Amino acid sequence: MRTSLLFLLSLSLSDLPSVAYAQAGRGAPQPPATAQAGAPVDLTGYWVSVVTEDWLYRMVTPKKGDYAAVPLNVEARKIADAWDPAKDEQSSEQCKAYGAPALMRIPGRVHITWQDDNTLKFEKDSGTQTRLLHFGGSATGTGGDWQGVSSATWITEPGARAPVRGGGLKVVTTKLKPGYLRKNGVPYSANAVVTEYYDRLNEPNGDSWLVVETIVEDPMYLNQPFITSTNFKKQADATGWNPTPCTAR
């Protein structure tokens, strides 16, 4: 009898790992299949910029040589001081101020949609520009254009730049064509790296805001990171949507 009991006990113990594994498998959360399915916040729709800061640098083209608040080095100041919009027009480079480092600062509207399950599409009516934000390491391409190559990740952990409620979006853009941080010739180089944080804030009255923090790092032209914060308000529809071409002036 003692031998039989020991035998049955050994069989029961041998089954414990498989049972525990099965229970762990049932309880383990599965990661979202796509970036769209796992989105902690909905950024889609039409948003209009609300200019409450840097009005003189955003609503009108600053005068040549006015690069206040931009941490330019000596070489960058020389380039800005030599700005000539006519030359940009002659070389068909009217879009120098509409690249990813500056596009969200230009007043106007942005339309955000999902191009596919892992790609957010940003269409800006000012300059008729389109940005594609790729999730999950899917960003490919040689870049070299105004919008470069953008890699996106959702932020969900508190204290990791996410809001207290909901979540946010982080975007890193590289491989850019050289352009302007401001329309009056303030330069950024092809080595610039743009890091953006997108947060949606919902007000009790039903209004929704999109706050975009943009950090431009450029060892060629900037002495330190250039940081801006831009606000957009959610629209119910496409009212006011008016795509216009880039302008150099």
Inform me whether the pLDDT recorded for 140 exceeds 50: yes
d(CA 28, CA 49): 42
- pTM score, whole prediction: 0.86
- Tell me the C-alpha distance between 72 and 223, whole Å: 6
Residue reference for tokens 């391409």: 141
Q: How far apart are the first and last CA of the chain?
A: 98
pLDDT reported for residue 27: 62
pLDDT at residue 241 is higher than 70:
yes
Longest dimension (CA), the chain: 102
**Percent of residues, the chain, with pLDDT higher than 90:** 79
Which pLDDT band holds residue 160 (cuts at 50, 70, 90)? low
- Taken as a whole, the chain contains a residue count of 249
Q: Which of 200, 224, 227, 222 is nearest to 211 (CA)?
A: 200
Give dist(CA 124, CA 146) in Å, integer. 13
* Centroid of chain to Cα 224: 20
Mean pLDDT of 222-249: 98
